[in-house]
């Protein structure tokens, strides 16, 4: 019995295109977390961002529009959609913590898709906002998805088995 999912037997791995779509969704959630973090800071202390967004709320709306345009919105859970639709500043601290775990998933999916050479040791946290995976956020994603290639299943299974030891 799988401790993580409660399901019997190994979970069937997703195909490379599904993994690439999920990676893009994780990246979008990470960006939304960045916008939420900036929105919660006093105006004078907001860091400059290199994204071409006129303001934070425009960035939130643009992110949601991009997810829908690229067919990724339907790949999000209802909870993720609710967070993405929430006005800036509406997230609870628990929401911020929960979404920060998506950045951990971002690195692991990036590794599985051969976009990252190694994952951090399992007892290290990913530095929030220092995403090592280049994602085509606010760009067309069809090429990124079409070119996605997973590592060999034996390599992914071995890494999953090691990670489950830490649960």
pLDDT, tens digit, for every residue of 53-92? 347 888 899 999 999 999 999 999 999 999 999 988 889 9
Shortest CA distance to 26 belongs to which of 130, 121, 148, 108?
Answer: 108
Is the distance from CB of 137 to CB of 31 less than 8 angstroms? Answer: yes
The single-letter DSSP state of residue 138 is T
Distant-in-sequence, close-in-space partners of 20: CB < 8 Å, separation ≥ 6: 113, 141, 144, 145, 148
End-to-end CA distance of the chain: 14
For position 1, what pLDDT does the model report?
Answer: 36
Return the minimum-mean-pLDDT range out of 4-8, 119-123, 130-134. 4-8
Does 159 have pLDDT greater than 90? no
State the chain's mean pLDDT as an integer.
80
Is the distance from CB of 138 to CB of 59 less than 8 angstroms? Answer: no
Sign of CA dihedral 90, 95, 100, 106: negative
Cα 146 to the center of its chain, rounded Å: 19
Q: Please provide the size of the chain in residues.
A: 167
Does 26 have pLDDT greater than 70? yes
Concatenate the DSSP letters of all residues of 63-81 into one string.
HHHHHHHTT-GGGS-HHHH
Does 163 have pLDDT greater than 90? no
For position 145, what pLDDT does the model report?
Answer: 97
Average pLDDT over residues 97-119: 84
For position 8, what pLDDT does the model report?
Answer: 46
Q: How many CB atoms lie within 10 A of CB 36?
A: 20
Does 162 have pLDDT greater than 70? yes
Q: Which of 12-16, 31-35, 39-43, 101-105 has the highest mean pLDDT?
A: 31-35
For position 7, what pLDDT does the model report?
Answer: 38
Does 17 have pLDDT greater than 70? yes
């Amino acid at each position: 019995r799988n401790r993580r999912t409660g399901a019997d037997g190994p979970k069937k791995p997703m195909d490379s295109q599904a993994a690439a779509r999920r990676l893009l969704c994780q990246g979008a959630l990470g960006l939304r977390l960045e916008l939420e973090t900036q929105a919660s800071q006093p105006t004078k202390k907001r860091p400059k961002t290199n994204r071409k967004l006129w303001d934070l709320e425009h960035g939130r709306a643009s992110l949601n529009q991009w997810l829908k345009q690229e067919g990724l919105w339907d790949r999000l859970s209802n909870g993720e959609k609710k967070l993405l639709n929430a006005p800036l500043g509406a997230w609870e601290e628990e929401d911020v913590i929960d979404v920060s775990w998506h950045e951990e998933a971002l690195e692991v999916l990036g590794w599985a898709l051969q976009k990252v050479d190694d994952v951090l040791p399992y007892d290290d946290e990913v530095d929030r906002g220092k995403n090592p995976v280049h994602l085509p956020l606010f760009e067309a994603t069809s090429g990124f998805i079409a070119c996605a290639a997973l590592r060999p299943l034996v390599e992914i299974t071995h890494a999953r088995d090691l990670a489950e030891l830490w649960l």
